[in-house]
Structure 1
């Protein structure tokens, strides 16, 4: 009996260098992220909460993040891990793969290194949160934590806000913030200053972005949070004390289920206050406001959703395919 042989499965393998080479400018990545939020608000996105594994307790995780963005014909999944302490064994703390699937057949068309996209899209999400939730023409930015997320956030903020003129950087180690400031000094029209106290990167800022590890203590305290400041904790639950959360006038979030699970695992004493809450998708689509007054203290949780990763990854994959970048291999 004759049967049809399946078509060859030859996905494109893209390294981190391939991804970086084929990526569009930061402004275009921010546009893709904004468009994906807008499509989500219109019901064109299917993005469940992260599926999480914690093989060594709450300090480490692996997340499966599938998504379908219909309007962009973007289908796939990110598989990302964070194992603190890996550096001591010569391995990265974070790693990620993104698998893209053909929207018509479901077959895999690409396997990509995922950390470049993770950093870029997280910075883009932070910049968009600031675009919609900060007061106009922000000048002063505070960074609490200056690893990869801090760097990408600052680069994306520069693409959105030419008004930024002062940046203050706090971190656990003096050498890390001093090196960061030296490296980023000529990356924008700003003066950038390492500071010894977290307060100096929080008080009287227009935008504060935190990206710190999960710690037993929380370095941002409520009394430093000035009226009108937007606080964007990319660490989600790591940086702020309970009083800071209670002091927020507005709580912005891009995926409530993701945030609820993070609270349950890392801050079980707190509950999501829907009375102060608003969805990022509703803000981007014009259904809601990022702030209602110039003095509002806004906390914006960009939880990391698979639809953003997959939309950006498909944009890069299409460019790589056109440029004949990467390597195809036989999977079947």
Structure 2
């Protein structure tokens, strides 16, 4: 067992290595949007300024983890998968050399009603090396605080017809049982747990295996597979013909497929677009997502692109658990010294 003092030093080093943090002010944008050309130069300047402040040099080959926190008071803010696509493209160059370096993305959005005619939306971007983030998760996994559930699914009743409130509450009860677990990480070393997780996921109604990622010319079949799986969920488990509450997605991409297919943000565009078509009520939105390249799904070659349907707010809840686990572990290690 590693000496508590050494482990504490490792934890503090990872805790205080902030990577790059940027706050980008202005309306939230997507490619082809009405205001995009007007504000792109302004956003690019803010990214470059943040890189200078943090003395950041784009790593030429390192795998990267990128987190997005969107705060919107726009009536017509783009969908989160469109937002991530736009801002990730702007980060290429000043923050990383190639967007294929990005092998972990998490994103969530807070939507509020504009209080004035002038919107004041903003975005926080957090970029770090995936190796450092993975080591931090490994340390957090030792803390009980990391495994505790906190928070409740978000229900936007004002977006739901009152006659469907009861169904929406029941859907939330179903979603509440699905959370991001301690083993939902880019790399897991326990072979016994690995086999358990694969077997468990195969039988979970809110976890889908969409098989191999599409090769060139196979996108249509891939979309049909996603649509079919989501339609089965509605038929077998939901009391309504659509999900009536905002949701989030947790997506694991097999490491073997990561180098052969499109970028993570483009994979999410496909998944989210099909979910909007087949699963989610048109009035609602996707609240967030997490997608990453996972080593552990390559164990037996049977697992493909795996998608977990989550309650709204779970991604932020997961990040809160990480913060609490860091604090708890630090206190525990100090007590052991």
Q: Structure 2 length normalisation: TM-score? A: 0.30
Normalized per residue, which structure has more helix?
2
Normalized per residue, which structure has more strand?
1
